Amino acid sequence: MEEVQESVARGALNPDLTLASKCLLLAATSICNDAARSFERYLQADEAREPEDLQYEADCTRTGLDQDRRVLDILAELEGLKDA
């Protein structure tokens, strides 16, 4: 992490960090899309769906958003936008 902070302080881009940031952003986008689909299924559920199924969709949405937040926190740390 110290290397990242020094690189940001100097304004020098590290190609490995750039690649890592791109991968993290792609992961965050994918996780967010999955969470949105789970939430959409939850909202569009009809009365025939079992309450357990609805709870599963709600839990998937919540878990996905928690994972997304953690990935974005790591990305912010790598980019020097958040203290380590």
Neighbours of 67 (CB within 10 A): 16
Instruction: Say how far apart CA 54 and CA 38 lie, in whole Å.
Output: 10
Alpha helices in the chain (DSSP H): 2-10, 15-43, 51-78
Q: Does any domain span residue 49?
A: yes
More confident residue, 32 or 2: 32
Mean pLDDT of all residues belonging to the chain: 83
Q: Please name which of 26, 1, 2, 3 lies closest in space to residue 14, comparing C-alpha atoms.
A: 3
The pLDDT, as a whole number, for residue 33 is 94
**Count: domains in the chain:** 1
pLDDT confidence band for 77 (50 / 70 / 90): confident
| Mean pLDDT across 34-57 | 89
Domain region containing 66: 2-78
DSSP 3-state assignment of 25? Answer: helix
Q: Does any domain span residue 84?
A: no
